Structure 1
Amino acid sequence: MASSAVYQVTTMKVKILQWHAVASWTWDAQDETCGICRMAFDGCCPDCKFPGDECPIIWGACNHAFHLHCILKWVNSQTSTPLCPMCRREWQFKG
């Protein structure tokens, strides 16, 4: 016994009246926290009130990442050639 079915396709147009976008950002670092202050990279260092452009992440030539303020304090506190706080290689900002 053969049966046949008939399908009807209708097209509906939709008009968008409003659109609200939501976005989030995150730093692309290998670690989730600064190796100096141990605060999360998606947050901010102890010297800052808000995360983002005022508290960026800085990478060294050795690929270790730190909050800008944390690594600047670290480098300025060294009496001799500054070393990376993580691997102890000579600290150089990644260029």
Structure 2
Amino acid sequence: MKVTIQKWNTVATWRWDIPEEDVCGICQVHFDGTCPTCKYPGDDCQLLSGKCGHNFHMHCIMEWIKQESSRGQCPMCRQPFEWTDQNNESAGQIE
């Protein structure tokens, strides 16, 4: 018996590779969605993971850090917010 595939429809889905947390600590929107300033999830609405273990939409944490009252601290644990680069494990501090 020989089977010939005539047509193949595929469906794909994606998820951010992050531990347990599934919502941004600032805007409370799921990471699979977008922050309030973006239209589409993905590369335009990236996530930043802090060394402290908390994750945020890039736009949300950037706006948070710009506020004088934040003093560059993580909004969840109040440690100085330093992000980790998932690709090469280097880190930086937002000032």
* Structure 2 CA distance for aligned equivalents of residues 93 and 39 of structure 1: 20
Q: Which of the residues 29, 48, 52 maps onto 2:42? A: 52
Paired residue for 1:13?
A: 2
2:75 aligned with 1:85: yes
How well do the aligned residues superpose, as a CA RMSD in angstroms?
1.4
1:24 is matched by which residue type in structure 2?
Answer: T
Misfit runs of 4+, over 6 Å:
none
Give the fraction of aligned pairs with identical amino acids, expressed as a percent: 48
Compute the TM-score of the two structures, normalised by the length of structure 1. Answer: 0.80
After superposition, the Cα gap between the structure-2 partners of 1:56 and 1:93, relative to the gap in structure 1 and judged at 3 Å, is same
Paired residue for 1:31?
A: 21
Contact 2:64 2:70 (8 Å CA) reproduced = no
Paired residue for 1:64?
A: 54
Give the gaps of 5 or more residues in structure 1: 1-11
Give the gaps of 5 or more residues in structure 2: 85-90
After superposition, the Cα gap between the structure-2 partners of 1:78 and 1:93, relative to the gap in structure 1 and judged at 3 Å, is farther
CA drift of 1:50 comes to 1.4
CA drift of 1:77 comes to 1.0
Report how many aligned residue pairs link the two structures. Answer: 84
